[in-house]
């Protein structure tokens, strides 16, 4: 099984587990060994899934402004958790390939493996929810047809992105590409760099 085959299975499992209750306050029940890559992938997709639904809720035009502000702060925290976890996944890859010596003509990729995995997790969510739209009984035929066409594109994109990630990992393992990881510097979350906060 390739890395992305495993990842896509875990993402689907996390999304399915979330939708058993379909509530943003449902506690996570991660079935994988703590600190394993499988546990990180499950947690990553769980965070993405909860945030997906928080984003749905906050777009209610009739939402109470105080509730909306609370949700916005919760989404900000979720984004930070997501970023931290992506960096943990990159740490896993760096450790896995630490003994690989890049070839003299090795090239750098545009993004780290974990940021590509981040996109794969979001893609799994898009597929799940587009499938929901295709299966709706209260929607007209035009809506179903439109969503079916979008779903076909998303499924093709999942195959392509999975292939690209697996090829990137093969290239890193063979020394044809090398990893550089730039830690995300979320300035708006830092009281030392957000002027609204440090000028208080």
pTM over 0.85? The answer is: yes
- Tokens 């969503």 — which residue? 147
Domain limits, the chain: 3-187
Run of H or E including 108: strand 107-108
What pLDDT does residue 185 have? 67
Q: Tokens 């749905």 map to which residue?
A: 56
Alpha-carbon dihedral sign for residues 96, 160, 83, 16: negative
Q: Which residues contact 17 (CB under 8 A, 6 or more apart)?
A: 29, 46
Q: How far apart are CA 36 and CA 92, in angstroms?
A: 9
pLDDT in tens, the chain (200 residues): 999 999 999 999 999 999 999 999 999 999 999 999 999 999 999 999 999 999 999 999 999 999 999 999 999 999 999 999 999 999 999 999 999 999 999 999 999 999 999 999 999 999 999 999 999 999 999 999 999 999 999 999 999 999 999 999 999 999 999 998 777 666 777 778 778 777 77
Which residue in 15, 165, 149 sits closest to 89, CA to CA?
165
Beta bridge partners of 107: 177
Long-range contacts, 70-75 (Cβ 8 Å, 24+): 75/51
Q: How far apart are CA 117 and CA 7, in angstroms?
A: 8
The token duo for 169 is: 């990992």
Taking a C-beta distance cutoff of 8 angstroms, is the pair 106, 174 a contact?
no
Q: What is the pLDDT of residue 23?
A: 98
């Amino acid at each position: 099984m390739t890395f992305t085959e495993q990842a896509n299975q875990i993402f689907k499992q996390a999304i399915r587990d979330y939708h058993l209750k379909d509530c943003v306050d449902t506690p996570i029940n991660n079935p994988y060994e703590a600190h394993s890559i499988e546990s990180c992938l499950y947690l990553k997709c769980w965070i993405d899934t909860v945030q997906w639904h928080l984003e749905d809720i906050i777009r209610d035009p009739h939402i109470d402004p105080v509730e909306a502000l609370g949700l916005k702060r919760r989404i900000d925290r979720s984004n930070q958790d997501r970023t931290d976890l992506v960096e943990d996944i990159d740490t896993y890859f760096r450790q896995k390939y630490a003994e690989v010596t890049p070839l003299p003509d090795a090239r750098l990729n545009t993004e780290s493996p974990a940021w590509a995995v981040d996109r794969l997790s979001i893609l799994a969510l898009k597929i799940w929810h587009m499938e929901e739209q295709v299966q709706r009984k209260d929607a007209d035929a035009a809506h179903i047809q439109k969503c079916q066409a979008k779903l076909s594109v998303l499924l093709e994109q999942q195959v392509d992105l999975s292939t690209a990630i697996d090829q990137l990992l093969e290239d890193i393992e063979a020394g044809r590409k090398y990893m550089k990881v730039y830690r995300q510097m979320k300035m708006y979350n830092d009281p030392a760099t957000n002027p609204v906060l440090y000028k208080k």
